[in-house]
Every structure is written in structure tokens, then in C-alpha cells.
Amino acid sequence: MRTVVSRPQLVVIWMIIFCACAAADLATAVDDFSRLKLSRAGAGTLVPPFELPTVDGNTIEFSKLRGKVIVLNFWATWCGPCKEEMPALDRLSRRFDSDDVAVLTITTEHERMAIQQFMKQFNSTLPVLLDEQRDLTLAFMVRGLPTTIFIAKTGEVVGRAVGPRDWDSADVVGFIQRLQQ
């Protein structure tokens, strides 16, 4: 005997499946924030356009980063927790194609030699943006270091973390992969 499902029943079944999938995605997002100890402060806010010089003399324009997931890490050479997490940030950046994910570090310091020595100490190749006027630091309301901001491909803030993290962990990599979708 063959069971026939009516069109309204089929629509209800598909709606249940869709809602279950959406709930699973939402649960994963909630789990990401709690597991990674991320805050939703500023979430949904469009990142203001910015252009900052790098320690090596180049310029980074936010408009050219659209379509990428962006990880902004605010730090300083004197910051102990910043020293703790910098190697993991560098490893994280190598896990992704630079066409898809940009991991950028930002400092308000003025001593370029000290900044370069700091990065050399950790064999880091991450770009270092100079926010000497503190415009971006103030725009993101950075109060403690290190502060890491996650930005979606759409240019909207997703979340932030204050304090060091194991940035190349499987949980963080999975979180960024979900942001790429």
C-alpha cells in the first residue's frame, strides 16, 4: 500500500525541517559565543570606512576588504596578554586564504621600531595597522587590551573578545568558517 502525502502536509513537513535546521544553526551560533567567550557588543553595526597606514609603509583600506571575514586585534607591545596570544593569531591567519579572511592587528603606539621588534620576536607576518590618532580604537570602543573584533563579509560587527584567547583552536576556526558561509 502506498501512502500519499497531500501538498499542505508536504509544506508543513518542509517547514518543520526548515525550522529544525534554523534552530540548529542558531544553537551553533549561541554555542560559539559562549564557548569562545565572545560578547555581542556592537553586533550588527556597520564598520565605518577607514584607511590606516601599516608599520611597513603600506595602507589598508576597509573598502577593499569587503566580502572577507575580518578579524581585528587591538594590542600593544607592553601588553602581556597580547604577547601571549600573538602567535595563535599568526597561526590563525595561515589557516585561511587571504582572499577570504583578513587577520589584522592594530596598535596606537608610535614607536615603529618597537612594534617591528615585537612582531619579529614572535616571527609574525601579520599586518600591523597604526591607529596613532586612536580614531578606530575609539570607534570600536576599545577599553582593554587585547580586544579582538569579528566582522562579517557584509561589513557588520559580529562580536568581540576582550582578553587573550587560543585563536587558532578548532572552535575559533569553525566559528570563522561559519562566518564565511
**159 close to 33: Cβ distance less than 8 angstroms:** yes
Confidence at residue 170, expressed as pLDDT on a 0 to 100 scale: 96
Confidence at residue 1, expressed as pLDDT on a 0 to 100 scale: 53
**163 close to 172: Cβ distance less than 8 angstroms:** no
Backbone phi, then psi, for 113, in 5-degree steps? -65, -45
**Bridge-partner residues for 101, per DSSP?**
69
pLDDT tens digits for the chain (181 residues)?
Answer: 555 656 565 444 445 444 444 434 444 445 888 889 999 988 999 998 999 999 999 999 999 999 999 999 999 999 999 999 999 999 999 999 999 999 999 999 999 999 999 999 999 999 999 999 999 999 999 999 999 999 999 999 999 999 999 999 999 999 999 999 9
**67 close to 179: Cβ distance less than 8 angstroms:** no
User: Which candidate, 148, 79, 142, 76, places its Cα nearest to that of 115?
Assistant: 76
Cα–Cα distance measured from residue 91 to residue 125, given in angstroms and rounded to the nearest whole number: 10
Confidence at residue 8, expressed as pLDDT on a 0 to 100 scale: 61
Cα–Cα distance measured from residue 69 to residue 87, given in angstroms and rounded to the nearest whole number: 20
End-to-end CA distance of the chain: 43
